[in-house]
Structure 1
Amino acid sequence: MASLEDLIPTANKLQDVMYDAGIDTLDLPVLAVIGSQSSGKSSILETLVGKDFLPRGTGIVTRRPLVLQLNNVAPNSPLIKEHHGEFESSVTQANDNTSELTLEDHLRKNQGFESVDRSEWGEFLHLPGRRFYDFAEIRNEIQNETARIAGKNKGISRIPINLKVYSPRVLNLTLVDLPGITKVPIGEQPADIERQIKNLILEYVAKPNCIILAVSPANVDLVNSESLKLAREVDPHGRRTIGVITKMDLMDGGTNALDILSGKLYPLKLGFVGVVNRSQQDIQSNISVEEALDNEEAFFVRHPVYRTISTRCGTRYLAKLLNHILLNHIRDKLPDIKARLNTLIGQTEQELQTYGGTGAITKENRAGLVLQLMNKFAARFVSSIEGTSTDIGTKELCGGARIYFIYNNIFGSSLKSISPTENLSTRDIQTAIRNSTGPRPSLFVPELAFDLLVKPQIQLLLEPSERCVELVYEELMKICHNCGTPELARYPKLQAKLIEVVSELLRERLGPTRSYVESLIEIHRAYINTNHPNFLSATEVMAGIVDGRKGGKVQSAKKPDLEDARQSIAKDLVKKHNEDSSPTLTSISDSEKNRSSEAFSDDENDSSKQSKDSFLNYFFGKDQQGSHQLNGSTEEYNLNSNKQRVTDLAELDKLHLTDGGQNIENLLPQMSEREQLECELISRLIVSYFGIVREMIQDQIPKAVMCLLVNFSKEIIQNRLVTKLYKESLFEDLLMEDQNLAQDRQKCVKLLETYKAASHIMNDIL
């Protein structure tokens, strides 16, 4: 179990581990230094380190974040001695191999390693294993590394430079030096430099685990402090902001910052600290940092206003305060970091499993792997159809639910949208009836006409039935292409082969399914079963027609002129026909005539009964012996029909002579009332029978598709995959890994190792 003083070095180790892996997901506690250009940020950092090591100049000097880790080491620390041995070994090896020495090694060889102060040095994470004992070289390396990434102009980069400083004269701290806030671009600075710098600073200070070190010069009004303004955006209550007032010795005479340092003017929970920076003249005069610290301490002790708070001012006090704050902050945040780390480890392990885990593929286990992936693919195919898949979508119908929708919505609606008499006009029915009678006039409505007319209507059910099969087939193909798993995506050739085999199986089943559907339609067309229990009887149909016509007569009574004219014409035709008719037609007895006249009586019950019997006997010849005992209305219809046929024949002869027989159908005369009754009867019977067949088709087609296509594919898919692909000669090619996924898996493995290493570090202190 590590002590409290080891918390900062432990956090630094975690930071190093994350940096090596190139990740930043733990939000480790850190101190971020922000301030305007020339506000004294660099002077504070150099004073904390005790060395001049930061680049200086005009404009933007800090163009990349500098992550500065200060590590306190004892003079007898093993780190110094271990590196001493490594240096001697490297020099000996270099001499033996006559290889080129580094500048550092060359100086040590000429001046002697013991003459170099080995208690203070710096290390860059981008140069692992190399120590910089000369801090002027550290400054040059920072400049070179900045130019390498951010370029030689005044552009900035968010990629940090990580510098670790080891010294017995520093306290354990971790700080991030960020570019100075600027308002106006000058020289070669980009036009949007202010926005770039602000976004870069916010990347660090917006994190809850970041302690903000807001630097403001004392010779500028606090209300104009850019650092405090930016800190307030992310820390409005001032709970994690430390205010640092620099250049205290440059304030105008008669003014002081006591109210600011006391927290009366701008309250911050962590307070304000006043410091005195080394002036440019001190730097040019080579005044050491230690001497500058003494001068700073004397300034506050001798100052008439600040001497009362001199123990809480100065860079030495600031270093202790920052160390204390950072220790407490790390201690408070480590449990959350530990929990976050465990979560990341679990998530990364799950992600790694999606890439197939870390197990290597060998000749011995590849057969089992192929079989396992096949079984998973087949199981996902079946579960998608049955609706038992664990990753069912919620945005749209898919799988079995989509197939059900095809059966009940798409297919059902398509059948209902078909009119039983679609493309079948009254003239078509009349023509079919006449064609069915041949050269003789018909005494009854021929049943052959009903067969001729209803069969093409049944054929209309074929197209939506075939479309239903195609839609289910397309959905099964879609399911097949969506059955891949993350493990299977690792082997694209195997996945492609699995899809190919199942697609071939579905194509094989499409042909028989479609043929069977066509056969169902042909079966219904092959035999017209007029004895079906749901088929309307001719009596019911004729009764409905008669009732409808009687209702029409009642309505037509409102138009006596048209009705009288129609009756007058009908009587004239009957009279003329009786005069010219043959003895057979004129031999109707008086009793029959009286009976026919009684058919037009107002007695509804007698009329309805006589109409049903007479129409049924007449149109379908159920009682041929009584066919001559017709009522008056039927006789009139027959006479009118005969008369109309004579007129039709005369018109046809005339048309044939004058028009060569062209457009005969277009010039057919108007139908007689008897023919209208015949057409209406046939039309109603077609509607009745078509409804019966449509209902059976709507029930039989989904059953056929499920049996021949869906269920068959479900039952045979696994056997087909094993038969086609489970072959030793194919394993090597099938298990060829996708290169991109292989790289992703390697990254995932490295990430998991990083998290576990960080967890091991955390276990030492928790």
Structure 2
Amino acid sequence: MSENMIELINKIQDAFTTIGGNESLDLPQIITVGEQSSGKSSVLEHIVQRDFLPRGSGIVTRRPLVLQLVTIRNNAEAYDYAEFLHLPQQKFFDFNDVRAEIVRETDRVAGSNKGISRTPIHLKIYSKNVLNLTIIDLPGLTKIPLGDQPHDIDAQIRQLVLDYISKVNSIILAVTPANTDLANSDSLKLARQVDPTGKRTIGVLTKLDLMDAGTHALDVLTGKSFPLKLGFIGLVNRSQQDIITNKSLDDAVKSEQLFFQSHPSYRNMSQRCGSLFLSKQLNQILVNHIREKLPDLRSKLSTLIGQTQHELSQYGDPAFAGSIHRGSLILKLLTMFSTEFVSSIDGTSSHISTKELSGGARIYFIFNSIFGTALDSIQPCANLTDQDIRTAIRNSTGPRCSLFVPEMAFDLLVRPQIRLLEAPSLRCVNLAYEELSKICHTCGSKEISRFPKLHTKLVEVVSELLQERAGPSSEYVESLIAIECAYINTNHPDFPGAAGALEEMQKKHKEMEKSEKKRLARQQMMMTMNGSDPITSSSMGTRTHRSMSISSVTSSSSPPKDSFLNYFFNGKNEGSKPSGLSQLLSVEEDAGLEKHFASSVSVMHHEMQQDMKLKSTDKDDKEVELIRYLITSYFNIIRKSIQDLVPKAIMHLLVNFTRETVQNRLVSSLYREELFDQLLKEDPAIASERERCKAMLDIYKNVFTLISDAM
């Protein structure tokens, strides 16, 4: 029974390794942890009773070594031998060759620069001298990198060890030399970190023969100084001199037994010390641990079987791709793709992301957030200055003076503002198109992806359909803006009109006057409290302002005394000097006069243009304010309409049309018998993955049956 338990776990472990199984199945196994030079390798060799591990300075074990010990039965192999999982059907009878292969395989994966690798080496040793056992040997813990070791080698090894011993189904074999302070043992510190109660840690004290004379480790071995549920076991390793002189492991084990039997401190517990006892103890601990974990393993395997069956179904049945069923398979895959495309839009897909918006939700976000924000950011009178409005009003009245605000100026000014809505509206179409294209490219189950050419064609057909619909959608959105610009409806029920606008403006001005009066009253009150005369101060300020204004107007309006215009219009200006042109000019000066006249007229025209820009009456200001108010009111009406109509147009012309016609388009484009051979060429990688998945499912089922029988 015990042998079958360990053999069962070994089979599962081999299967996972060869097929790339699911590492989430935490197998019961023994993990060896120890510092460099702690005697960890010697412990394993004593258990196996073979020299097979590399030796040397620095890090020798640089990859996890999964060591499976298998007892040779009677009438079986006569000699011990080893097998590597990466070299199937090859037996190693010389264990020097085993050591060389470990070195060679380590360098192949981890390199020759003393770095480590997480990829394990799997080694099986068959012997009559071993008990069934599975042990994983990890790189020795170190603190200081030596030679060409990576600078963070200590952190790498520590993390590797933690990853292994953190699994709750693992048994921790913590190796510590007896001639060092137990409180500083890194292996025991790491073990306590993941197993604080000491429930699944077994301690090994090596080098007991090297302790100072008169000292012993009885308190540790009896569990008084460092309690562990599985206890401590003491060992005596071969010395370096023993290794140099090739002392056999049989002799080493005998010397070890003799040491414990003859030592005054350990003779009473010699039966619970040594490599042979450790091997038996580990075997029993592992068997009991496996038996305890079998129900959990069985439950986990049941879950894995269900998941693997579902995964296998995603790859499809290879027999269904035969010549008889090709048409049915094509129709099935076309329907599957179109259904997934539509469900992504509708939000009913079984693969809805929880990390980001996608599909129909993303389109909704485009309509309500991106498009809405873009429209709200447009100012109704953007890039429209008071001078632009004033110029438009004057140009629309011609040579006449208007009694009312001309409607032509309003039409002229509001149309360019409405056209500002076109760019974000077209951008909204493009964003919706891009999201539909993204949905198209992400559609495709594993069953569809097994046929890469078919998947490519599916994406091409849907992309062409989207491109066909993107054009009319954009044209229609452009026409919406053009329609709004074609007729400015001042009779719109929400538009206030001139009368309503004037009424609103009057209310606004009255409120401003009230606010200003309150401000002046507060100011006068403050000045009174400060001891100054508000009336005098106000009058002086007003007189000073008027004086400056009058002086400014006078100086700017008075022409130079001897300007050409004074002489030219001499006969029409009262109070001017009686002299005319004949008094100033002789016949010889006619040519110079004409040149001077042309220059002066140009200057006068420029001054008139400046006057038009700088001088505005109170009536002009009110007209500008009124026009600006009317533009803002009408623009807001059109913006609200566009914000409502553009998403509707996109949904009707692009989104809904595509979702309703996608399956018919796929069938009409791809359901052709002459295309079947090309479309149904299976991806070799998918076929390989299906076979791996099928093999793993078979293993899961077999292991589930074995565990069920063993329980």
Q: TM-score, normalised by structure 1?
A: 0.68
1:719 maps to what in 2?
664
1:631 maps to what in 2?
none
SS in 2 for 1:273: strand
Distance 2:381 2:145 in 1: 83
Q: Does 1:471 align with 2:428?
A: yes
**Against the structure 1 CA distance between its residues 123 and 424, is the aligned structure 2 distance closer, same or farther, given a 3 Å change threshold?**
closer
Contact 2:418 2:635 in 1 (8 A): no
2:295 corresponds to which letter in structure 1? P
Distance 2:624 2:142 in 1: 95
Contact 2:371 2:428 in 1 (8 A): no
SS in 1 for 2:15: helix
Contact 1:655 1:661 in 2 (8 A): no
Distance 2:45 2:508 in 1: 109
| Residue number among 673, 682, 707 corresponding to 1:728 in the alignment | 673
Q: Map 1:2-21 onto structure 2 (within 5 A).
A: 3-21=1-19
Q: Does 1:67 align with 2:66?
A: yes
**Against the structure 1 CA distance between its residues 132 and 532, is the aligned structure 2 distance closer, same or farther, given a 3 Å change threshold?**
closer
1:257 maps to what in 2?
217
| CA deviation profile, 1:291-337 (whole Å, cap 9, x unmatched) | 65455444434443333223323333222222211111111122222
Q: Which moved more, 1:655-664 or 1:306-315?
A: 655-664
**Against the structure 1 CA distance between its residues 372 and 480, is the aligned structure 2 distance closer, same or farther, given a 3 Å change threshold?**
farther
Distance 1:544 1:38 in 2: 93
2:582 maps to what in 1?
none
| CA deviation profile, 1:166-222 (whole Å, cap 9, x unmatched) | 334432222234445555666776766655554554444343333233334444454
Q: Does 1:235 align with 2:209?
A: no
1:457 maps to what in 2?
414
Distance 2:678 2:172 in 1: 57
Contact 1:35 1:180 in 2 (8 A): yes
**Against the structure 1 CA distance between its residues 452 and 389, is the aligned structure 2 distance closer, same or farther, given a 3 Å change threshold?**
farther
Distance 1:167 1:385 in 2: 64
Distance 2:245 2:620 in 1: 127
Distance 1:198 1:552 in 2: 76
Contact 1:216 1:222 in 2 (8 A): yes
Q: Could you list the runs of 5+ residues in structure 1 that have no partner in the other structure?
A: 81-117, 566-653
| CA deviation profile, 1:628-663 (whole Å, cap 9, x unmatched) | xxxxxxxxxxxxxxxxxxxxxxxxxx9999239955
SS in 2 for 1:709: helix
Q: Which moved more, 1:25-34 or 1:418-427?
A: 418-427
SS in 2 for 1:17: helix
Distance 1:306 1:196 in 2: 38
| Residue number among 309, 315, 321 corresponding to 2:281 in the alignment | 321
**Against the structure 1 CA distance between its residues 120 and 475, is the aligned structure 2 distance closer, same or farther, given a 3 Å change threshold?**
same
2:429 corresponds to which letter in structure 1? V
Q: Map 1:304-315 onto structure 2 (within 5 A).
A: 304-315=264-275
**Against the structure 1 CA distance between its residues 720 and 159, is the aligned structure 2 distance closer, same or farther, given a 3 Å change threshold?**
closer
**Number of residue pairs the alignment of both structures matches:** 633
Contact 2:417 2:635 in 1 (8 A): no
1:374 maps to what in 2?
334
1:102 maps to what in 2?
none
2:15 corresponds to which letter in structure 1? V
Contact 1:63 1:179 in 2 (8 A): yes
**Against the structure 1 CA distance between its residues 458 and 414, is the aligned structure 2 distance closer, same or farther, given a 3 Å change threshold?**
farther
SS in 2 for 1:460: helix
1:271 maps to what in 2?
231
SS in 1 for 2:654: helix
2:586 maps to what in 1?
none
SS in 2 for 1:264: coil
Contact 2:70 2:133 in 1 (8 A): yes
**Against the structure 1 CA distance between its residues 364 and 424, is the aligned structure 2 distance closer, same or farther, given a 3 Å change threshold?**
same
In the TM superposition, residue 271 of structure 1 has moved relative to its aligned partner by 1.4
SS in 2 for 1:482: helix
Q: Map 1:616-627 onto structure 2 (within 5 A).
A: none
| Residue number among 701, 709, 714 corresponding to 2:654 in the alignment | 709
Q: Which moved more, 1:666-675 or 1:211-220?
A: 666-675
In the TM superposition, residue 464 of structure 1 has moved relative to its aligned partner by 1.3
1:45 corresponds to which letter in structure 2? L
Pairwise CA RMSD: 4.6
Contact 2:425 2:477 in 1 (8 A): no
| CA deviation profile, 1:663-720 (whole Å, cap 9, x unmatched) | 5655449567777777777666666655555554454444444333333333333323
Distance 1:283 1:415 in 2: 84
Distance 1:10 1:240 in 2: 21
Distance 1:546 1:496 in 2: 67
SS in 2 for 1:70: strand
1:724 corresponds to which letter in structure 2? S
Distance 2:679 2:258 in 1: 79
SS in 2 for 1:713: helix
2:560 maps to what in 1?
none
SS in 2 for 1:461: helix
| Residue number among 313, 317, 322 corresponding to 1:362 in the alignment | 322
In the TM superposition, residue 422 of structure 1 has moved relative to its aligned partner by 5.9
1:717 corresponds to which letter in structure 2? V
1:17 corresponds to which letter in structure 2? A
Q: Does 1:215 align with 2:180?
A: no
SS in 2 for 1:166: strand
**Against the structure 1 CA distance between its residues 219 and 729, is the aligned structure 2 distance closer, same or farther, given a 3 Å change threshold?**
same
In the TM superposition, residue 263 of structure 1 has moved relative to its aligned partner by 1.6
Distance 2:375 2:55 in 1: 85
1:485 maps to what in 2?
444
1:30 corresponds to which letter in structure 2? Q
| Residue number among 589, 601, 615 corresponding to 1:658 in the alignment | 601
Distance 1:675 1:284 in 2: 112
Distance 2:323 2:633 in 1: 69
Q: Which moved more, 1:10-19 or 1:730-739?
A: 730-739
**Against the structure 1 CA distance between its residues 537 and 158, is the aligned structure 2 distance closer, same or farther, given a 3 Å change threshold?**
closer
Distance 2:133 2:601 in 1: 117
**Against the structure 1 CA distance between its residues 707 and 459, is the aligned structure 2 distance closer, same or farther, given a 3 Å change threshold?**
farther
Contact 1:247 1:276 in 2 (8 A): yes
**Against the structure 1 CA distance between its residues 469 and 498, is the aligned structure 2 distance closer, same or farther, given a 3 Å change threshold?**
farther
| CA deviation profile, 1:343-398 (whole Å, cap 9, x unmatched) | 33434444445555666633444433443343344334434444444444455555
Q: Map 1:329-340 onto structure 2 (within 5 A).
A: 329-340=289-300
Distance 1:323 1:413 in 2: 70
Q: Does 1:512 align with 2:472?
A: yes
SS in 2 for 1:123: strand
Distance 1:551 1:158 in 2: 79
Distance 1:34 1:665 in 2: 94
Q: Which moved more, 1:690-699 or 1:65-74?
A: 690-699
Contact 1:370 1:726 in 2 (8 A): yes
Larger Rg: 1
Q: Does 1:125 align with 2:123?
A: no
**Against the structure 1 CA distance between its residues 517 and 657, is the aligned structure 2 distance closer, same or farther, given a 3 Å change threshold?**
farther
SS in 1 for 2:321: coil
In the TM superposition, residue 272 of structure 1 has moved relative to its aligned partner by 1.9
1:109 maps to what in 2?
none
| Residue number among 127, 134, 147 corresponding to 1:167 in the alignment | 127
| CA deviation profile, 1:113-165 (whole Å, cap 9, x unmatched) | xxxxx164433333433444555554555555556555677665554443333
Q: Map 1:681-720 onto structure 2 (within 5 A).
A: 693=638, 695-720=640-665
1:246 corresponds to which letter in structure 2? T
